[in-house]
Amino acid sequence: MLDIRFVRENPDIVKENIKKKFQDAKLPLVDEVIDLDAQRRAAIAEADELRKNRNALSKQIGMLMGQAKKDPSKLAEAEAVKKQVTQQAERLAELEKQETVLDEEVRKRMMVIPQIIDDSVPLGPDDSANVEVERFGEPKVPDFPIPYHTDLMETFDGIDMDAAGRVSGNGFYYLLGDIARLHEAVLAYGRDFMISKGFTYCIPPFMIHGNVVEGVMSQTDMDGMMYKIEGEDLYLIGTSEHSMIGRFIDQIIPNEKLPQTLTSYSPCFRKEKGAHGIEERGVYRIHQFEKQEMIVVCKPEESKDWYEKLWRYSVELFRSLDIPVRQLECCSGDLADLKVKSCDIEAWSPRQQKYFEVCSCSNLGDAQARRLRIRYKDENGKTQLCHTLNNTCVAPPRMLIAFLENNLQADGTVKIPEVLWPYMGGTKVLVPTKK
């Protein structure tokens, strides 16, 4: 959410930003906000003047009532002033009600006006205009066939989607045996990898209040992702970023406590509305999964540097698992409304012979901090808004698709990279239990 003063003073910049995001339908909101804000400020000014007058008139009534003891004619004058006070009180109540309504109307529009994107963001209407920046590792295509990922997992007796369908419906799974152990090994390795980078490990609440949801994401994203607990002001989190950033709601973080660098584990729950292609069957796009996340809350001048560090951590982690990746810069039309800048880390799929998303790194500027009132005091003692960033560390089971495909051998075994040996009880190779 933008600063209302910025919108008031820079309407052309705000409108141009909306055009860059290919959201022209939102252009009228800028003028509406400016008009409603002017009405709101006029109501506040008139109400303040009435409050000031009320104090003066109250003193005048007291003085007249005192004089009326000696001069009865002053009593009528006092009653006239009381009537004036009553009239002004009615007008003040009307203005206060008007101010509340206008506040809500301004906020409603401000919540959907997108954040100002970074100048470096490539322009484009949707993800087809995202730009490849750099590749890491040599993508290879083996000279033997690679099964679809669920078929591959089944050779290890490692997945049961039929039972999950009977128990929970489509979009759920049971992981078993070596595949389940590999799933947990990757999460544990991701946790320790981030701890080695100086991040504090955290397990957050998996349900959050509606005002926190509203603070961390747009209404469109909320409707498309979040599961609400019936009869409760609670939502299941779609990612631990939601509760991790929510941790700082209404807080003024001491200067010396910034940056906050946290890595958090959580299950994630998502509606995943809409139709998806054949490659998004299996465990690629599901309603429940687990993830290790990176979260940074920092001073504004530090957020660009942290953005670079975060996505490079993802690259380093995936390369340590022998998985080739690339960085893909998200274009303007592919950015969620709260994001200033974002990129995806995509892993190589030897079976598809293309890359697919496994991590998403985002700089949200002060958008979440403004909504949640996350602040700090600068060196001059002035209260400022923080900046927030997030990035996927590792999110199996999707990440397992890349892992299994890139480490599959011609005989059907899967080699385990050395960094994972301690997390797999020393196991160096997974051997299929059936062909």
What is the CB-side half-sphere exposure of residue 121 using CA atoms within 13 A? Answer: 28
Residues 230 and 322 reside in one and the same domain: yes
Distance CA 10, CA 15 (A): 9
Q: Which of the two residues, 284 and 60, has the higher pLDDT score?
A: 284
- Would you say residue 280 has pLDDT above 60? no
> 42-46, 65-69, 255-259, 377-381: which range is least confident on average?
65-69
Q: Kindly state whether residues 229 and 84 are assigned to the same domain.
A: no
Nearest of 115, 160, 156 to residue 362 by alpha carbon: 115
Say how far apart CA 329 and CA 314 lie, in whole Å. Answer: 14
Give the model's pLDDT for residue 61: 53
Last residue of a domain, one of 110, 142, 173: 110
Q: How far apart are CA 59 and CA 245, in angstroms?
A: 50
Same domain, 323 and 359: yes
pTM for the model stands at 0.88
Residues 61 and 34 placed together within one structural domain of the fold: yes
Look at residue 98 and tell me if it is in a domain.
yes
Based on the domain organization, do 353 and 266 belong to the same domain? yes
Residues 391 and 256 in one domain: yes
More confident residue, 318 or 68: 318
Neighbouring residues of 111: CB distance < 8 A, sequence distance ≥ 6: 1, 214, 218, 219, 371
If asked whether residues 281 and 252 sit together in one domain, one would say yes
The arithmetic mean of pLDDT across residues 368-381, rounded, is: 94
378-389 average pLDDT score: 94
Check whether 72 has a pLDDT greater than 70.
Answer: no
Whether 120 is covered by a domain: the verdict is: no
The per-residue pLDDT for 76 is 58
Of 339, 345, 305, whose CA–CA distance to 132 is shortest?
Answer: 345
pLDDT of residue 284: 82
Interval 326-350: pLDDT, tens: 999 999 999 999 999 999 999 999 9
List, for residues 24-52, the tens digit of each pLDDT value: 999 999 999 999 999 999 999 988 887 77
Asked whether residue 135 falls in the same domain as residue 95, the answer is no
Q: For residue 227, what are its two tokens?
A: 């599961």
Does residue 64 fall inside a structural domain? yes
pLDDT tier for residue 276 given thresholds of 50, 70 and 90: very low
Strand pairing category for 325-329 and 414-415: unpaired
Residue 236 confidence (pLDDT)? 95
pLDDT at 274 over 70: no
Mean pLDDT in residue range 285-314 = 96
CATH of residue 9: 1.10.287.40
Q: What is the CATH number of the domain that holds 200?
A: 3.30.930.10
Residue 77 belongs to a domain: yes
Strand partners, 365: none
Check pLDDT > 60 for residue 59. Answer: no
Residues 224 and 342 in one domain: yes
- Of 79, 110, 141, the position where a domain reaches its end is 110
- Answer whether residue 121 is part of any domain: no
Q: Give the residue among 261, 263, 265 at the shortest CA–CA distance from 296.
A: 261
Q: Is residue 119 part of a domain?
A: no
Per the structure, the complete domain to which residue 78 belongs is given by: 4-110
Question: Is there a single domain that holds both residue 170 and residue 198?
Answer: yes
Whether the CB-CB separation of 137 and 323 falls below 8 Å is answered with yes
Q: Does residue 305 surpass a pLDDT of 70?
A: yes
Residue 302 lies in a domain: yes
Do 196 and 312 share a structural domain?
yes
Average pLDDT over residues 183-210: 97
pLDDT the model gives residue 397 = 84
- Per the structure block, which two tokens stand in for 55? 């104090």
Q: Are strands 227-228 and 341-349 parallel, antiparallel or unpaired?
A: unpaired
Number of domains, the chain? 2
Of the residues 62, 77, 110, which one is the last residue of a structural domain?
Answer: 110
Residue 310 pLDDT: 98
Token pair, residue 277, equals 């292609």
**Residues 151 and 84 both lie in one domain:** no
